[in-house]
Amino acid sequence: MEIRYPRAFLLPLTVVFFIFFFIPQFTYASEKEYVRQPPGCIIFTKHGRSESEPQQVHVSLAGSDYMRVTWVTDDHEAPSTVEYGMSPGQYNAVARGENTSYTFFFYSSGKIHHVKIGPLKPGTTYYYRCGSCGPEFSFKTPPSTFPIEFVVVGDLGQTEWTKSTLAHVESKDYDVFLLPGDLSYADFQQPLWDSFGRLVEPTASRRPWMVNEGNHEIEMIPIIYPHGFKAYNARWLMPYEESGSESNLYYSFDVAGGSIHIIMLGSYTEFDSDSAQYKWLKQDLAKIDRKMTPWVIVLLHAPWYNTNTAHQGEGESMRKAMEELLYGARVDIVFAGHVHAYERFTRIYNNKADSCGPVYVTIGDGGNREGLAMSYKNPRSPLSMFREASFGHGRLRVLNHTHVHWSWHRNNETDSLIADEVWLDSLSASSTCMGQQPSSLRDEL
């Protein structure tokens, strides 16, 4: 973790002072070593609806054929119900869900509603309304077969660049949005979580957003909030229970009728071999049958491979703990964020090119408020195939059991222009790689 707090700061007044004045400077100070392109201005998105109307609406996948609808109301009496149907204004189903809220020093959140709806048909548009009031929204469920397209954006933030990234994302259709950590950059200022929810609502209410946590989600204060992730866990509930995980900080889910298995790992929770996360990951990987599931994709925040001078070595202890598991399971691709730039590697295992290892991609260039990570280690490692510090987003088109197309799009160009692209074959189609799979893993299948 990046920030450690001395105990002497724990007198209440000092704490408040600390939060508002010191932490932002701490963060900047540690990152000033890198020369960055100017960050975009922060956009504060105001609440233009009435107290009982839903705001910050977003949807996520919640087990096969289900979606979770999440929203916030200022009114704590507002009901946690979602009405939905396949035609606008005609809701022939209604589901009731749960609610939560949290406090953070003087801040009290609105009522946060989580409602699971379904079973839903694949590849179908549903129209829905939250709490029987406010505007109608709609989303499309992912298809149950190939092809399927993912958008991948890391370190999104809420700046002018964020807006530009989301506009590029919206300019072409896709099925599922993947975010490998660092969402709002609220950094203890809780109203910025609300503002972020409003900014992303037009995109996040239309397609499922599957996210995991970055360092900006931690918001930990020793003794007072020792576990951190208070806002993140309350607001961005992901299908961890549905995937047999005990923590919202790591989970997995299937798409395309189980042909694609996606694993979200937590860079900022324990990952050593005796940790709950490690044990869960091992079990989760052992359950995969690569004949049924040709694609296995992992997302985490702090990259294991990185030739940028920013955040060097921060993913190294996690790599040492978990790389062998991912390699043994023949994971196809590992996406990371954290470094505010784009970089694509070849297939790697243990710091060497390995045709049975995952392709590593860093895509932390969504639009954070700190600017880009401009400086790279030279000479360039032969493992690094493409690297550039520009804001942008990625698209992963899974065409069939054997082929995916990955592309990276810069924000200063139209979405149809591709700055970097590559075709990848599924490792499950390689008899060499599958034949050499470590027996310890195969035995458990």
Ligand X SMILES: *[C@@H]1O[C@H](CO)[C@@H](O)[C@H](O)[C@H]1NC(C)=O
**H-helix or E-strand spanning residue 68:** strand 67-73
The listed partner (Fe ion, ligand X, none) that binds 158, CB under 5 to 8 Å by sort, is none
Q: Which residue has the tokens 């939905």?
A: 84
Contact in structure between 109 and 97 (CB atoms under 8 Å): no
Residue closest to 419 by CA, chosen among 369, 344, 347: 344
Of 118 and 147, CB closest to ligand X: 147
Beta bridge partners of 334: 298, 360
Q: What residues are annotated to the active site?
A: 311
Q: With binding defined as CB under 6 A, does residue 79 bind ligand X?
A: yes
The nearest distance, CB 400 to ligand X, in angstroms, is 4
Q: How far is the CB of 239 from ligand X (least distance, A)?
A: 19
- The smaller minimum CB distance to Fe ion, of residues 112 and 265, is found at 265
Tell me if 312 contacts ligand X by CB under 6 A: no
Task: By CB under 6 A, tell whether 145 contacts ligand X.
Answer: no
CB of 324 to ligand X, least distance (A): 30
Q: Residues 248, 254, 255, 260: is their CA dihedral positive or negative? A: positive
- Tell me if 52 contacts ligand X by CB under 6 A: no
Question: Does residue number 165 form part of the binding site for ligand X (CB under 6 A)?
Answer: no
292 vs 399 by CB, closer to ligand X:
399
In the sheet that 125-130 helps form, which strands lie side by side, from edge to edge?
93-96, 81-85, 125-130, 137-140
Binding mask 403-442 for ligand X (x = CB under 6 A): x------x-xx-----------------------------
338 binds, among ligand X, Fe ion, none (CB under 5 to 8 A by kind): Fe ion
Cβ partners under 8 Å of residue 274, min gap 6 = none
**39-54 b/e (C-beta count within 10 Å ≥ 16 → b):** bbeebebebeeeebbb
What are phi and psi for residue 427, nearest 5 degrees? -65, -20
- Rounded to the nearest whole angstrom, what is the least distance from the CB of residue 438 to Fe ion in the complex? 32
Binding mask 96-135 for ligand X (x = CB under 6 A): --xx------------------------------------
Q: How many residues bind ligand X (CB under 6 A)?
A: 12
Binds ligand X by CB under 6 A, chosen from 399, 438, 440, 445: 399
Rounded CA gap, 41 and 196, in Å?
A: 14
Does position 390 bind ligand X by CB under 6 A? yes
Instruction: Give the long-range contacts of residues 217-226, CB within 8 A, separation 24 or more.
Output: 217/181, 217/182, 217/183, 217/268, 218/1, 218/268, 219/104, 219/186, 219/187, 219/188, 220/1, 221/5, 221/15, 221/19, 222/5, 222/7, 222/10, 223/10, 224/10, 224/15, 225/104
- The DSSP 8-state label assigned to residue 308 in this structure reads B
| Least Å from the CB of residue 195 to ligand X | 24
User: Measuring CA to CA, how many Å separate 164 from each of 40, 182, 200, 365?
Assistant: 10, 17, 12, 12
Q: Which stretch binds ligand X (CB under 6 A): 268-276, 309-317, 394-402, 435-443?
A: 394-402
- Return residues touching Fe ion (CB under 5 A): 182, 214-215, 338
> Are 207 and 175 within 8 A, CB to CB?
yes
| Comparison of 207 and 338: residue with beta carbon closer to Fe ion | 338
- CB-based contacts of 56, cutoff 8 Å, min separation 6: 70, 71, 72, 194, 197, 198, 201, 235
- Among positions 37, 309, 381, 402, the unique one binding ligand X when judged by CB under 6 A: 402
Residue 11 contact partner, candidates Fe ion, ligand X, none, CB within 5 to 8 A by sort of partner: none
Task: Based on the shown chain and the rule CB under 6 A, indicate whether residue 80 belongs to the binding site for ligand X.
Answer: yes
* Tokens read off for 276: 């709950």
Q: CB of residue 407 vs ligand X: minimum separation in angstroms?
A: 14
Choose the contact partner of 400 out of ligand X, Fe ion, none; CB within 5 to 8 A by kind: ligand X
Nearer to Fe ion, 155 or 284 (CB): 155
Nearest distance from C-beta of residue 390 to ligand X, angstroms: 5
Residue ranges of alpha helices (H) inside 287-405 are 316-328
Residues in contact with ligand X by CB under 6 A are 79-80, 98-99, 390, 399-400, 402-403, 410, 412-413
